[in-house]
Amino acid sequence: MSRTKSKNKAISIRINETDLITIDYLAATAGMKRSAYMCQRSLSTGPNLAKPLRDKIKSWNLLNEIYHEIQKSNDTQLKHRIHKLLSVEDSK
Amino acid sequence: MKTTSFGTLINKAGNGKYTNQDAPENLIRYITRTNGEPKNDLIAWGGLGILEYKSIDSIIGQFSLAQQLHTRKGDFGRFIDHEIFSFSPKGESLLDENNVDIDRLAREMAYTFYETDHCQVLYGVHSPSEKDAHLHIHFAINTVSFETGNKRRENISQTRERNTQFQNMIAARLPNDDM
């Protein structure tokens, strides 16, 4: 089986007929071929959704450390300022 | 050289277990004793890849957020993994005698899941007062890796390997003549 054929088969496992019709319609509207359209979509949306979430989760451990360390401090003003910063960071 | 066994790691993942969408919430609430049951045996809890200082509702949401990274179609399978390290009577008394910081130990144990599988982990240490019950640490592990979006898998030999790692972590906190 050629590389293109096996690739098409792999795509067909994940995408059903209705999805393909929608993709073809959107590709035609954008004046592109199906493969070029899918490639452009995956480059523009795929990594952008996952990467911030990954980075966010990784940063949470550091925020925990900051929170626990500041809890031990007697400086109430500093505590208040850090808690404020942490709540701003969480809401992003 | 034969060393003392300080306890056993039990993997609670069985066929069809934790496959309901509300399984993470139920388990997290059980571990953190926020499920309405009047038990007061929780002595420490925390997590990795989660914001510990937020509410339990928020932590449940944080687990669900990472699960959105799993984009493969089909049956989702288990939503959460549950492992328990149950201390032996000897292990428990050695921890007491040597004033081992159990929260620190549980955190270090939880880190092994986080580091190898890149999954969020919540841990809780329970110290039941019942006569036959022993100190134990619950681990709730997100089944979706926040790094890859893939599902986590653990077989028996990996659980055994982790159990050995846990025994070594405990041994490292005790004087040599206790082993």
Higher pLDDT, B2 or B34: B34
pLDDT tens per residue across span A48-81: 567 788 888 888 888 888 888 888 888 888 888 8
**Number of Cβ atoms within 10 Å of the Cβ of B33:** 17
The secondary structure of A58-90, three-state, reads HHHHHHHHHHHHHHCCCCHHHHHHHHHHHHHHH
Higher pLDDT, B126 or A11: B126
In a domain, B1, yes or no: no
Domain that residue B51 falls in: 7-178
Confidence of residue A12 (pLDDT cuts 50, 70, 90): low
Say how many domains are in chain B.
Answer: 1
In a domain, B63, yes or no: yes
ipTM summary value: 0.80
In a domain, B97, yes or no: yes
Higher pLDDT, B178 or B96: B96
The CA-atom distances, in angstroms, between A26 and each of A18, A32, A39, B96 are 12, 9, 13, 66
In a domain, B2, yes or no: no
Output the pTM of the full model. 0.78
Measured in degrees and rounded to the nearest 5, phi and psi for residue B85 equal: -105, 115
Q: Tell me, what CATH number does B141's domain have?
A: 3.30.930.30
pLDDT at position A46 over 60: no
In a domain, B26, yes or no: yes
Specify the pLDDT at position B172. 95
Specify the pLDDT at position A7. 60
B111 to chain A: closest CA residue = A61
**Separation CA B56–CA B32 (nearest Å):** 8
Q: Which of A53, A54, A90 sits opposite B51 (nearest CB)?
A: A90
pLDDT tens per residue across span B31-58: 999 998 878 899 999 999 999 998 999 9
Q: Would you call A64 and B52 a contact, using CB atoms and an 8 Å cutoff?
A: yes
- Chain A residues in contact with B146 by the CB 8 A cut-off are 53-54, 57-58
